[in-house]
């Protein structure tokens, strides 16, 4: 059977797609064109309203291809789990499979009937979620401990389920042995890792750093409340050269009342404490954060407080999202702000954030930095500094996978430009 797979969304979804591909390739062929496939799989995301609209459009397109071509359509991922009625309304003949049950993808694929597998959970083979390459993304947990009032992902991904340290260590070791140079640890909240199995992220990192080899670890998103529980030990283990001096700590709002409405379990002062501890030890470290603009009942003063916190803490990157109500969430029932206000506030946060990003990047101009070359595209090498800043370099394709020294010659908002030193 020829199978086409299309994937959207976060790193966890990418890992799920890799798992499905590896399972399917044991018996069938993966093709790059849906028109040449006997079965079409779309691994969906539904984190925001605009994402949902994009998914609906694409499911309709693939459903039409399947109908004309006689191909089976399978809708996987977060939309299949969190919004099955919506999917069934768009594609009545499609099979559905949730993130928790993708280990059953072969059974769904080979079944002569329409399959709906969205209830319950199964076990995932962690090793089969990774791809060979210089950069490898490894899930360390599924689900989360939070219950944010705006978030539909909780409905799709469920409660926290951490993989064992032994299993993660085995998979990381194999990835390094196969040539991986960058290990990206991912989860809905990496700081929550192990809280369900009697351990924590720091213990995991200590074990992973025992693995010999030339590699560097990037730790994915961490909620402020869970990061605070381990922050001092975390800063100590960041001393290891094999950990990027990078943190992704989502603030979401700089107003404590809005954070309560969001059901976020921290204050703006908690966020500032983490930034202060990180920056005092690693002044050029990369701090990324997330902001939701135009949350229900957000006053103009609350919006200004968010901008003030951004200006005070100077994150290197701010992922700004305009609030969009998601079905089955408490925030969707709150009084909503007009679209025009949400859009304006989003633009204002982006404008401030981009200015700060450029200022933070400018401090590297003129410096000699050691970078890891991870990709070459069109004669331009893309490399990462030890604080995870992106550096673009002309040439040096033969340096792929190697550490090289570059002089930073120019700063852009989202990356640096460097040239090889002699």
Query: Per residue in 64-75, pLDDT tens?
Result: 999 999 999 999
- Confidence at residue 163, expressed as pLDDT on a 0 to 100 scale: 97
- Confidence at residue 197, expressed as pLDDT on a 0 to 100 scale: 98
With 0-12 CB in 10 A as exposed, 13-18 as middle and 19+ as buried, what is 119?
Answer: exposed
Would you kindly state where each structural domain of the chain is located, as residue ranges? 2-117, 126-361, 368-420
- What does CATH list as the number for 2-117? 3.40.50.12160
pTM of structure: 0.94
- Is 126-361 the same fold as 2-117? no
Closest by CA to 337, choosing from 349, 323, 347, is: 323
- Confidence at residue 174, expressed as pLDDT on a 0 to 100 scale: 96
Q: How many CB atoms are closer than 10 A to CB 212?
A: 9
Segments in the chain below pLDDT 70: 397, 422
Q: In what order do the strands lie in the sheet with 39-44?
A: 29-31, 2-7, 39-44, 72-77, 95-97, 116-117
CATH topology of domain 368-420: OB fold (Dihydrolipoamide Acetyltransferase, E2P) (2.40.50)
As given in the structure block, the two tokens for residue 29 are: 């062929």
Closest by CA to 286, choosing from 408, 414, 192, 373, is: 414
- Confidence at residue 52, expressed as pLDDT on a 0 to 100 scale: 94
Report the alpha-carbon distance of residue 307 to residue 304 in Å, rounded. 5
As given in the structure block, the two tokens for residue 161 are: 């389920």
- Confidence at residue 210, expressed as pLDDT on a 0 to 100 scale: 98
- Residue 221 makes CB contacts below 8 A (sequence gap 6+) with 186, 187, 188, 189, 190, 248, 249, 250, 290
Rounded (5°) CA angle 388-392-393? 125
Phi and psi dihedrals of 180, rounded to 5? -65, 135
Q: Which residue has the tokens 């768009």?
A: 90
As given in the structure block, the two tokens for residue 412 are: 């852009």
- Confidence at residue 397, expressed as pLDDT on a 0 to 100 scale: 67
- What does CATH list as the number for 126-361? 3.80.30.20
User: What length does the chain have?
Assistant: 422
């Amino acid at each position: 059977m020829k199978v086409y797979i299309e994937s959207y969304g976060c790193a966890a979804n990418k890992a799920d797609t890799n798992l499905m591909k590896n399972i399917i390739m044991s018996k069938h062929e993966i093709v790059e064109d849906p028109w040449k496939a006997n079965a079409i799989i779309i691994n969906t995301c539904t984190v925001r309203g605009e994402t949902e609209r994009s998914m609906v459009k694409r499911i309709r397109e693939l459903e039409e291809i399947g109908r004309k071509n006689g191909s089976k359509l399978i809708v996987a991922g977060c939309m299949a789990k969190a919004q099955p009625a919506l999917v069934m309304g768009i594609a009545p003949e499609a099979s559905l499979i949730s993130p928790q049950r993708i280990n059953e993808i072969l059974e769904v694929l080979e079944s002569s009937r329409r399959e709906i597998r969205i209830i319950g959970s199964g076990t995932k083979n962690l090793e089969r979620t990774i791809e060979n390459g210089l950069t490898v993304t490894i899930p360390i947990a599924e689900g989360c401990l939070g219950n944010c009032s705006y978030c539909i992902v909780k409905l799709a991904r469920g409660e926290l389920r951490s993989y064992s340290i032994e299993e993660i260590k085995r998979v990381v070791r194999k990835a390094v042995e196969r040539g991986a140079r960058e290990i990206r640890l991912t989860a809905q909240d990496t700081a929550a890792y192990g809280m369900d199995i009697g351990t924590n992220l720091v213990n995991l990192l200590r074990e992973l750093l025992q693995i010999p080899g030339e590699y560097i670890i990037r730790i994915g998103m961490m909620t402020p409340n869970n990061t605070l529980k381990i922050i001092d030990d975390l800063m100590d283990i960041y001393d290891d050269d094999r950990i990027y001096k990078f943190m992704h700590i989502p603030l979401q709002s700089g107003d404590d009342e809005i954070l309560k409405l969001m059901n976020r379990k921290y204050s703006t002062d908690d966020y500032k404490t983490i930034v202060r501890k990180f920056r005092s030890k690693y002044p050029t470290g990369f701090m990324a954060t997330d902001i939701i603009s135009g949350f229900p009942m957000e006053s103009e003063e609350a919006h200004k407080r968010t901008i003030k916190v951004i200006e005070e803490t100077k994150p290197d990157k701010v992922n700004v999202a305009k609030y969009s109500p998601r079905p089955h969430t408490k925030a969707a029932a709150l009084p909503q702000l007009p679209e025009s206000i949400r859009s304006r506030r989003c633009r204002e946060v982006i404008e401030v954030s981009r200015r700060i990003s450029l200022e933070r990047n400018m401090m590297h101009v003129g410096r000699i930095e050691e970078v890891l070359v991870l990709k070459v595209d069109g004669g331009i090498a893309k490399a990462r500094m030890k604080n995870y800043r992106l550096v673009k370099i002309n040439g040096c394709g033969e340096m792929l996978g190697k550490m090289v020294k570059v002089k930073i010659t120019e700063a852009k908002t989202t990356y640096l430009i460097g040239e090889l030193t002699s």
